[in-house]
């Protein structure tokens, strides 16, 4: 029986490796996105903590220098939060682009898998047809052999039957 061999297997292997590479690339981008979101959450917590601390001053007197420093610090935190949000949008765009590239790679791989499944089904059908032809041929040979044996047996019986008939019909017996 002939072994199945998919002629596009090297291409399928390349497509599978490409998909795995793109899956890993997407995973890295998602990890970066998670890190950037955690960083943004940390900055927002720092801002909120500072706002709460500055809303209830520990000392009764308010110093203009301290208020100026606090305002400058809050302004810097707002700037860092804005920059972090921008970084997150950029990383989200990268994640989406890599997700799309992974989807394309998965579709291409699936196309070749479908081709392989179809080729395997054709191979299986060809094998079954070949087996049926072989069995039909064997059956035909057996049938011919039996028929030949039957004919030979009939021919072997004819002279004996013909001899008995000749003896029984001979004119010598009637006298």
Tokens 């008995």 belong to: 164
pTM of the model: 0.67
The alpha carbon of residue 149 and the mean position of all alpha carbons in its chain are separated, in whole angstroms, by 57
pLDDT tens for 79-128 read 999 999 999 999 999 999 999 999 999 999 999 999 999 999 999 999 99
Eight-state DSSP code of residue 63:
-
Can you list the domains of the chain with their CATH numbers? 9-129 (1.10.287.1700)
pLDDT tens for 24-70 read 999 999 999 999 999 999 999 999 988 887 766 555 456 666 666 77
Which helix (H) or strand (E) segment holds residue 96: the answer is: helix 64-169
R_g of the chain, CA atoms, integer Å: 46
Q: Is 174 helix (H, G, I), strand (E, B) or coil?
A: coil
């Amino acid at each position: 029986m002939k072994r199945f061999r998919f002629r596009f297997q090297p291409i399928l292997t390349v497509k599978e490796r490409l998909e795995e590479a793109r899956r890993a690339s997407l995973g890295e981008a998602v990890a970066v996105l998670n890190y950037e979101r955690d960083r943004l959450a940390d900055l927002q917590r720092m801002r909120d903590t500072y706002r709460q601390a500055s809303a209830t001053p520990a000392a009764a007197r308010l110093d203009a220098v301290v208020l100026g420093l606090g305002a400058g610090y809050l302004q810097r935190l707002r700037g860092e939060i804005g920059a972090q949000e921008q970084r997150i949008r950029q990383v989200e765009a990268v994640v989406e682009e890599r997700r799309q590239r992974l989807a394309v790679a998965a579709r291409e791989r699936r196309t070749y898998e479908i081709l392989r499944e179809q080729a395997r089904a054709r191979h299986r059908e060809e094998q079954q047809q070949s087996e049926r032809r072989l069995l039909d041929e064997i059956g035909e040979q057996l049938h011919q052999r039996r028929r030949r044996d039957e004919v030979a047996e009939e021919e072997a019986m004819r002279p004996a039957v013909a001899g008995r008939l000749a003896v029984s019909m001979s004119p010598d017996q009637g006298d």
